[in-house]
Amino acid sequence: METGRGNHDLELKSPLLTTAMGILPHRDPERALELAFSLDIPFWPQLPNLSYSEDTYVQTVRGMPGVVVDHEGLKIDFHEDRFFAELEDYLSLDPGADYFAVSTDESVTYSGFLERASAGFPALRGQFMGPISLCLMVKDLEKKPIIYRDDAREVAIRHVASRVNRHLADLRAINPRAFVWVDEPGLEFLFTGITGYTSERAREDLDLFLSLLEGPRGVHLCGNPDWDFLLQSEVDLISLDAYNNRDILAGYRVGLARLLERGGAVAWGAVPTHTHLLEAETPAGLAGRLSELWDKLGEEGLERSAVAGRSLLTPATCCLVNPDLTSTVERAFATVLEVRGLLMS
């Protein structure tokens, strides 16, 4: 079961297009879709507050051999005996098969997303969980993450790649500029000594995963990992929390500048989604914070127009825990558009 290398170009039709991470706090699918289509690049919304079936880990792992989703216990279990029983048939599948497609019955928003999507948007965006984070989350019956199992980990890497590639193909049948990124929150914890999963092993696994992707190789994370680990990879797009990590990111301006210079892109999470943070900010202040970070890139010889031309704007993080549940998040989306207007003026 192999996947080939494809065109990794990310076409940005204009500077500072807006989009967002797919996880929303909404329980109303129609309202979530309205919000997803309020930005320049609409995205497939995932609603974990509505159902465990909407959890990104659950949606990503569907179809992987040996895996059982426990909806009552809200967990994903790996069964070794089932893994080996199912593996031969699984490995015989074509990676572009319908088996890897997102089915409309595994997401309450997916059919509505496809119905609203068109080639008239600057792009469309999808997402899945990244393989490293998935392997940290999925555990065997002895509670050991499958990241420690060479056999299951490689299957997971290839499984996520097949799901991403098929998802991308379905979206590009509607809009040729569509792209998909993976969420990798686990990268923040790789090199803390907590996991026992070495940086060398992680590098090999990330390189394998990126080599299998057919389209732009995008990674999203809201945390603060070893940024050099990502910036020295073949990633084409990094989506990050620029609001909370501005000072840290300034220290990686060389790597960020090189990413943009080689035709990559950055999705700058410029607007906080937590109530207490957003209430303390103004659109002008948020635009100024991001401009200061971009000035640091200017020290590496990048003109502001060059930065803007390879940049997206997003909310800083997803947020499921605000007391108002959805109101602050919706206000953050509107603020992203205001910040874009100020940065473009």
DSSP 125-151: EEEEE-HHHHHHH-EETTS-BGGG-HH
CATH of domain 17-344: 3.20.20
Q: What are phi and psi of 319, to 5 degrees?
A: -155, 120
Cα torsion 123, 129, 132, 133 to 10°: value is 130
The pLDDT value given to residue 315: 98
Q: What is the pLDDT along the chain (345 residues), one digit of tens a residue?
A: 544 445 788 989 899 999 999 999 999 999 999 999 999 999 999 999 999 999 999 999 999 999 999 999 999 999 999 999 999 999 999 999 999 999 888 899 999 999 999 999 999 999 999 999 999 999 999 999 999 999 999 999 999 999 999 999 999 999 999 999 999 998 887 766 555 788 888 899 999 999 999 999 999 998 888 899 999 999 999 999 999 999 999 999 999 999 999 999 999 999 999 999 999 999 999 999 999 999 988 888 888 999 999 999 999 999 999 999 999 999 999 999 999 999 999
* Whole-Å CA distances, 9 to 6, 178, 226, 235: 9, 11, 25, 11
- CA–CA gap between residue 255 and residue 101 (Å, rounded): 35
Cross-strand partners of 313: 18, 268
Token pair 């100020």 is at which residue? 342
